[in-house]
Structures are given as structure tokens and as C-alpha cells.
Amino acid sequence: MNIARLVYSSHPVGSVASRELFEILEASQARNAAVKVTGILCHSPDFFLQVLEGEPDAVCATFYRIVRDARHDRVRLLDFSHVPRRLFRDWNMGLAGIGDIRAELIARHSPTGDLAGLADEPAAAVAFVAELAAAMSHADETAAS
């Protein structure tokens, strides 16, 4: 299967309460599962960085819907690439809050040292999500063993 990976950033409108985030995630997981889209949603209080991966038309259709969502704005497409394999194949949509991500990982990739700085460096954002995926799958394996 031809796999596309899309990375975008955006900013929540107002503050997104954890209940709202949970609702977004629950709806996303069901819809993404139906069209075999996987990925991750990273968030800090004022920033989102999301990866969508799957069949190219499914990824684009999902992204076009997300762009119209009034719960966030300043959506910036950082990368759309055809890739040999998924980074987050076990996640219909994973969630990584700022507290779940190693500060060192963000500091090493972001020009400003925070998650939001990745919006200004698309290549760094892609390198960051690739390393995050590796760290998460390693954590999964460690938890399972």
C-alpha cells in the first residue's frame, strides 16, 4: 500500500480542556480506524502537532476535515510525504501531552526549545516525530516485557 504521512501544527482556540481533548481523541480514533489512518497528536497548552499517516486520499480527506475545525486555528502544513512505512502503526490516534514527552527530545529538535518552535522548522518537526515514534514503541515493548 502507498503510505502518505502528513505533519501539521496548529493552535487551540482558547484553552482546550482535557475533557474536550478526550472527546476529540475518541471521535478521531473511531473515524481513523474506519479508514486505516494512524498517527499521534502532541499537545502543549497552546500548541498542537499532529501526524496523520495512511492511504494518501484518506490522509488528505481527514486533514481537510481537521482544518475546518473551529477548535483550533493557524493550521500550518509542515510536511506531506510518501513514505515506506508508518511510524505509528499501532495508534489510530495516540496522544502525547507535553508531560509525556522527554524534554530533552523537544529541546534537541526545536530551535526555540519548546514544542511550538517545531512549526518553524518542518525538517526538525519530522525528525522529532520519527524519534518520538521510536521512543514510544520502545516504551511499549519495555512495558510488555
Applying CB under 6 A, does 36 fall inside the site for ligand FMN? Answer: no
Query: Could you tell me if 128 and 50 are in contact, meaning their C-beta atoms sit under 8 angstroms apart?
Result: no
State the greatest distance between any 2 C-alpha atoms of the chain, in Å, as a whole number.
42
Residue among 71 and 76 whose Cβ is closer to ligand FMN: 71
Measured distance CA(54)–CA(116) in Å, rounded? 25
Minimal distance, residue 58 CB to ligand FMN, in Å: 10
Applying CB under 6 A, does 27 fall inside the site for ligand FMN? Answer: yes
Q: What are the C-alpha distances in Å from 36 to residues 14, 104, 111?
A: 31, 32, 33
Residue among 36 and 71 whose Cβ is closer to ligand FMN: 71
Minimal distance, residue 28 CB to ligand FMN, in Å: 3
Other beta carbons less than 10 A from residue 119's beta carbon? 22
**Interface contacts to ligand FMN, rule CB under 6 A:** 24, 27-28, 31-32, 41, 48, 50, 62, 65-66, 69, 71-72, 93
